[in-house]
Every structure is written in C-alpha cells, then in structure tokens.
Amino acid sequence: MTDTTQAVGVDFHCHLDLYPDFEAAIAKAEAARIYTLTVTTTPKAWPRNHELTRQTRFVRAALGLHPQLIAERAGELPLWERHLSETRYVGEVGLDAGPRFYKSLDTQKQVFRRVLQCCADAGGKILTVHSVRSAAQVLDMIEEHLPRDRGTAILHWFTGSRSEAKRAVALGCYFSVNAEMVRTDRGRALVAELPTDRILTETDGPFTQVHGRPSEPSDVEATATSLARVLGLSPEAVGKKVQSNLRTLLD
C-alpha cells in the first residue's frame, strides 16, 4: 500500500542496498516514516529489492541500470526489460558524460533510449534519472521518447544550467534535491528558480555524507530545512509542499 499521508519526509533517491546492512537500512527508513525510493544500479539486484519492499509502508524499490555501469553491464538490458512489469518505479537510469564514463556514452544512449521507450510503452512509470554533464542530451531523449502523458522523469541531483532546468520544467520533469545541491552558490541559485510544485527531496545515500557518515533517509529533514532557507519558506511549508508534490506524482 502506498502510504504517503503518514510519511514525515521524502527521500526520493537513495541506495539502501549499498549500505552494509540492507534490511536494517529499510527498517530504519520505515521506523523514521520517510517515504523512500530505493534505487538499484543493476537489474540483478532487483529480485531482492523487490522482495524486501513488498510489505513495507514507506519504502519502494526502483528497477535500474546505472549509466556508470553500462560499459560492463549493457548486456543486462534484457533482464531489466523482463522485470519492468513488476514495478512502477525505474532508476537509477540516465547518462553520465563525465571523464570516467565518456567512453561508454554511445552505449549509454542506446540503453537509455530503450529504457525510455519501454517506459513509454508501459505507461505510468516514474523514473529517477542521472544526468551528469549530459543534461541537454538527457532532456533531448526524454522529449523524444517519453511523452508527458506516458511517464514522469525526476531529475536527481540536477547540475545542469538554469535554462536547462527551465526546459526540464516545460517537459514535465520533477527535481529531487539533496543537501549537496544547496551547499554551493550555483546550486542554490538553480534551486531557487525551480517551481516549488516540482521539488522533491533526496539523500543519494550512501554517496553523500553528513557528520562524516553516509546519509540516510531521515537526513532529508535537514535538507528540507536548507531548502526552506533557499526558497524563503518555513521548513514546515517545504515539508508540506514536498509531500503534496509526492501525492500529485503518485496519483
């Protein structure tokens, strides 16, 4: 059962299966009542993620094939396709044109195109999308392959330009904002211009840290507080806004 009304916060992109104790990480998110989308990086991880989130109230799992793994794992695309009907949530998917992954960019695009096409065919999917150094290309592909009435993309940890953000808004995308994004002037300037009805929060744990330890879903409360300062709203107002955005997204 989807239980957004009882949640006290939203972590719409984290990797609970990369914590030392996956089951404990799920239990902790449940106890904290954080609506958590736990993403996967390979479809091989899907069955266990699916199994462990069948009965949870607040934690949902997403079926992914991470762009940074495409060089080695592009061959897992058929497996990803086989599992797609088992979930509404897709991620982590997208493109990474950073120096370490640039070599596989053409293959990444083939895979991401297929992912978008499959999602558009299925309808109603919610995707959490990586777009490092590739915002324009990611948006081109969403525009071409995922019509707005066939699915919704959430741009996770978006680092594109302000004009790219505007374009993403026009395409119907949401943004999941993490603590790192509001730590820099550039990030704050970008976030301040996002329409508040397209904002969600995330941790991207364990890839971000707080107080020298990996972030966990309950750390989104601090993110909501930082976000409130950037948006000129109260933390309570931001919390409510994010929850109502989540309900709109899931309805």
Q: Tell me the site size for Mn ion, rule CB under 5 A.
A: 2
Stretch that binds Mn ion, among 160-168, 191-199, 203-211, 215-223 (CB under 5 A): 203-211
CB of 207 to Mn ion, least distance (A): 6
CB of 1 to Mn ion, least distance (A): 26
Out of 96, 202, 204, 219, the only residue in the binding site for Mn ion (CB under 5 A) is: 204
17 binds Mn ion (CB under 5 A): no
If the CB atoms of residues 37 and 227 are measured against Mn ion, the closer one turns out to be 37
Write each residue from 82 to 101 as x if it is in contact with Mn ion (CB under 5 A), else as -, in one continuous string. ----------x---------
If the CB atoms of residues 154 and 199 are measured against Mn ion, the closer one turns out to be 154
CB of 213 to Mn ion, least distance (A): 17
Give the per-residue SS3 of the chain: CCCCCCCCEEEEEECHHHCCCHHHHHHHHHHHCEEEEECCCCHHHHHHHHHHCCCCCCEEECECCCHHHHHHHHHHHHHHHHHHHHCCEEEEEEEECCCCCHHHHHHHHHHHHHHHHHHHHHCCEEEEEEEECCHHHHHHHHHHHCCHHHEEEEEECCCCCHHHHHHHHHCCCEEEECHHHHCCHHHHHHHHCCCHHHEEECCCCCCCEECCEECCHHHHHHHHHHHHHHHCCCHHHHHHHHHHHHHHHHC
- Distances from the Cα of 164 to the Cα of 53, 98, 198, 206, 241, angstroms: 34, 18, 15, 27, 23
CB of 141 to Mn ion, least distance (A): 19
CB of 237 to Mn ion, least distance (A): 27
* Sequence-ordered list of residues with C-beta below 8 angstroms from that of 203, at least 6 positions apart, any chain: 11, 13, 14, 178, 179, 215, 216, 217, 219, 220, 223
CB of 218 to Mn ion, least distance (A): 18
If the CB atoms of residues 164 and 204 are measured against Mn ion, the closer one turns out to be 204
If the CB atoms of residues 11 and 204 are measured against Mn ion, the closer one turns out to be 204
Residues 112-171 that bind Mn ion (CB under 5 A): none
Contact call for residues 128 and 154 (beta carbons, < 8 A): yes
If the CB atoms of residues 93 and 231 are measured against Mn ion, the closer one turns out to be 93
If the CB atoms of residues 110 and 207 are measured against Mn ion, the closer one turns out to be 207
CB of 62 to Mn ion, least distance (A): 10
- Give the residue at shortest CB distance from Mn ion: 204
If the CB atoms of residues 13 and 167 are measured against Mn ion, the closer one turns out to be 13
Binding site for Mn ion (CB under 5 A): 92, 204
